[in-house]
Structure 1
Amino acid sequence: MTTHMNARRTAGPGRGPMVSEPLEPGAPWLPGQETTVMMVSASPALHGEVGRVCAAAAVGLVIAETMEDGGGKWGEVAAVLIGSDVPGGLAGWRGPTVVVGRAEDAGRMWRQAARLGADRVAVLPDSAQWLANYFTRLREPAAGAGVVGIIGGCGGAGTSTLAALIAGHEASRGTRVLLVDGDPWGGGLDSAVAAEGLSGLRWPDLLQASGAINPEQLAASLPAMGGLSLLSWSADGGAGRAPAPAAEAEVMRAARVAYGLVVVDVGRPAGHALGLSVHCDGFVMIVPGRLRAAAAAERVLEALPAAPVGAVVAGPLRDGVDARLVSDALGLPLLGSLPRIKGLEEALDAGRLLDMATHRKVRRLVAGIPGWLAGDGAAGTPDSRAPSGGTPGSGQPVGGRPAGARRHGR
Structure 2
Amino acid sequence: MATEQTLQDQKLVLVKPERERAEELVCTLVSNDVRLIESCALIALGAAVRIHQCAELKDLPATGHGPVLWGADMADDALDFPGLCDVILGFEEDDQQLWSVASRIPRARVAILPSAHHWLGEYLGLWGMRSGQAHCLSLASLAGGVGTSTLAALIAHAGTLSGQKSLLIDLDPHSTGLWPRLTLDPPTGIGWEELRSSGGALAPHQLVDTLPYLQDTAVLTWSPNASCAGVDEQLVVRLLAAARQGFDLLVVDTGRALHPQHAVIEQFIDHEVLTCDDSSKPPNTSHIVCGARNLRNSIPASSAYLGHFLSLPKITRVLQRGALFDVLRSRKVRQNIADLRLLPQKEATET
Is TM-score (shorter-chain normalized) higher than 0.5? yes
Could you tell me which residue of structure 1 aligns to residue 304 of structure 2?
333
Percent identity between the two aligned chains = 25
Q: In structure 1, the residue corresponding to 2:289 is in which secondary structure?
A: strand
Q: Deviations over 1:129-178 (max 9, x none)?
A: 9xx58x954xx4xx420111111121111111100110111111221110
Q: What's the secondary structure of 1:320's corresponding residue?
A: helix
CA separation in 2, counterparts of 1:154 and 1:206? Answer: 29
Residue in structure 1 matching 2:291, options 309, 315, 327 = 315
1:150-229 correspondence runs (5 A): 150-194=139-183, 197-210=186-199, 212-229=201-218
Q: How does 1:210-359 map to 2 (within 5 A)?
A: 210=199, 212-235=201-224, 238-240=227-229, 243-270=231-258, 272=260, 274=262, 277-278=265-266, 279-290=268-279, 293-294=280-281, 298=283, 309-318=285-294, 320-323=296-299, 325=300, 328=302, 333-359=304-330
Greater length-normalized contact order (CA 8 Å, ≥ 6 residues apart): 2
Structure with the largest fraction of helix = 2
Structure 2: gaps spanning 5 or more residues: 1-66, 68-80, 85-106, 108-117
Task: Provide closer, same or farther for how the CA distance between residues 184 and 200 of structure 1 changes in structure 2, counting only shifts above 3 A.
Answer: farther
Q: In structure 2, do the counterparts of structure 1 residues 310 and 319 end up closer, same or farther at CA, with 3 Å as the change threshold?
A: same
The answer (yes or no) to whether the contact 1:194–1:352 under 8 Å persists in 2 is yes
TM-score by length of 2: 0.58
Cα distance between partner residues in 1 of 2:137 and 2:323? 22
- Deviation track 1:304-335 (CA, whole Å, cap 9, x = no partner) reads xxxxx522112323362335x1x53xxx5222
| Matched-pair contact (CA < 8 Å) for 2:169–2:250 | yes
Q: Deviations over 1:53-86 (max 9, x none)?
A: 999456xxxxxxxxxxxxxxxxxxxxxxxxxxxx
Larger Rg: 2
Tell me how far apart the structure 2 counterparts of residues 354 and 195 of structure 1 sit (CA, whole Å): 12
Shift in alpha-carbon separation, 1:210–1:54, aligned structure 2, 3 A: closer
Following the alignment from structure 1 to structure 2, what is the Cα–Cα distance between the partners of residues 160 and 254?
22
CA displacement 1:249-274 (0-9 Å, x = unmatched):
11111111111101111111345563
TM-score w.r.t. length of structure 1: 0.50
Answer yes or no: is 1:371 the counterpart of 2:347: no
The Cα of 1:289 is off from its aligned counterpart by: 1.4
Q: 1-side partners of 2:145 and 2:223: how far apart?
A: 20
Answer whether contact 1:183 1:233 (CA < 8 A) is retained: no
2:3 corresponds to 1:14? no
SS in 2 for 1:198: coil
Q: Aligned in 2, Cα 1:149/1:237: closer, same or farther, shift over 3 Å?
A: farther
Over aligned residue pairs, what C-alpha RMSD do you find? 3.5
Instruction: Give the aligned length.
Output: 235
Q: State the Cα distance separating 1:214 from its structure 2 match.
A: 1.3
The whole-number CA distance in structure 1 between the counterparts of 2:119 and 2:209 is: 32
